Amino acid sequence: MVKPFSFCPVCSKTLEWSMINGRERKICLSCSWVHYINPVPAALAYVVNNKDELLIVRRAHEPAGNEWALPGGFLEAGEEAHEGCLRELKEETSLSGKIDRLIGVYQREVEKYGSLLIIAYRVVVEDELIFLNHELLEGAFYPYHLRPEVRIPLHRQIIHDAALTELVS
């Protein structure tokens, strides 16, 4: 887990634990600053081409380095979730996508970052020429029967949920 602050980021005094709004939180008794720990928002992209093949990438770095995954990343301040989703896709693969629909919103605890709020979109691309950036080792569009095994539980969940929303649409 991400370590809680020890000192007040406003006035530098030592923080104390206290029960605030139903949770143990750290508070500065000097200036009343409270350390609320909020999830970090991220977006993941379930990207298909016009043959309905799924883009699967292999991550170069931790967390889940070397694992097959869906592309995505953290949102920037002031950015809409769908914009961040398409921006991350473009940064990692150079692909320009269009949002098709929301697949779901998920919460996960990740060792390196703490609590994440993940927003997953189905994205379609016309031009599928891929240039990978340093964050990825491989990436390609795969037909269903040739897909590498995605083992990251959340990414598996999103692939599963994307298929479900496909059926109802």
Kind of pairing, strands 40-48 and 114-125?
parallel
Restricted to residues 13-42, the positions that interact with Zn ion (CB under 5 A) are 28, 30-31, 33
What is the gyration radius of the CA atoms in the chain, in angstroms?
19
74: contact with Zn ion by CB under 5 A: no
Concatenating the DSSP letter of every residue in 99-148 gives EEEEEEEEEEEETTTEEEEEEEEEEEES-------TTEEEEEEE-GGGPP
Our finding on whether 113 is near Zn ion (CB under 5 A) is no
- Which CB sits closer to Zn ion, 33 or 142? 33
User: For Zn ion, which stretch binds (CB under 5 A), given 3-11, 102-110, 130-138, 144-152?
Assistant: 3-11
Rule CB under 5 A: choose which of 1, 2, 11, 163 binds Zn ion: 11
Q: Which stretches of the chain bind Zn ion, using CB under 5 A?
A: 8, 10-11, 28, 30-31, 33
